[in-house]
Amino acid sequence: MFDFDAVDFVTADHHFGHARIIEHARRPFSDVNAMDSYLVERWNSIVPSDAIVLHLGDLLMASMNDVGAALALTMQLHGRRLLVPGNHDWISRATQTRTRIQSMMPRYEAAGWTVLPEVLNGSRRGRLLRASHYPYDTSSRDKFSKVRPVDDGRPLLHGHTHSATVFNDENAAMHVGVDAWDFTPVPMREVDRWLASTQITKAPQEAF
């Protein structure tokens, strides 16, 4: 099971190299180069070089011709970097073939990323916790159903929505994407505060 106690920061949805995300997510940048530079600056302004950062997907969205440059850019980011793939990542089981994933995985690893499964289950300071790129969803037409976590009441950290809203009132979910956090990774102390306010307080062994 994943050890959330070892994580210092969590984040999602940088979309390095993706010009159209500026309009889609209403980001205040003149062009993709300005966005990418600012995202690197914001990350490094808060993350020490020895920190562990859990990234919940959509790290970049670049064409096959541009993915090398986008990955090289992420090598500037401080810390040990863990990646849970999102639907726009070239290593996503939701959107890529097995052959494509096998060919792209070494490139992500060479850029300093440790790639993890699409759904992480574990605990944080004795409290149950789950993480995924995707929020909980009960839609019968969910195109990401094979990788989206099932809502069993466990608190969830997620990205994907690009919403400015952090907390979901309908279930125990916390959005950690950069569009909700002033373009910076989220310190895990914020997660600790949120978990302390949820109904689930302990992590029984049978839950794993």
Q: Compute the distance between CA of residue 24 and CA of residue 15 in angstroms, rounded to an integer.
A: 11
Per the CB < 8 A criterion, the answer to whether 188 and 9 are in contact is yes
Q: Which domain holds residue 158?
A: 2-207
Number of domains making up the chain: 1
Is pTM beyond 0.85 here?
Answer: yes
pLDDT tens track for 3-14: 999 999 999 999
Q: Is the pLDDT of residue 126 over 90?
A: yes
Q: Compute the distance between CA of residue 85 and CA of residue 179 in angstroms, rounded to an integer.
A: 18
**What mean pLDDT comes out for the span 91-104?**
93
Q: Report the largest interatomic distance among the alpha carbons of the chain, rounded to a whole angstrom.
A: 51
Per the CB < 8 A criterion, the answer to whether 130 and 120 are in contact is yes
Could you tell me the pLDDT band of residue 139, with boundaries at 50, 70 and 90?
A: low
Could you tell me the pLDDT band of residue 206, with boundaries at 50, 70 and 90?
A: very low
Could you tell me the pLDDT band of residue 169, with boundaries at 50, 70 and 90?
A: low
pLDDT tens track for 57-86: 999 987 666 889 999 999 999 999 999 999
Q: Is the pLDDT of residue 150 over 80?
A: yes
Give the domain CATH number at 60: 3.60.21.10
What pLDDT is recorded for position 141? 64
Q: Compute the distance between CA of residue 162 and CA of residue 26 in angstroms, rounded to an integer.
A: 9
pLDDT tens track for 26-65: 999 999 999 999 999 999 999 999 999 999 999 998 766 6
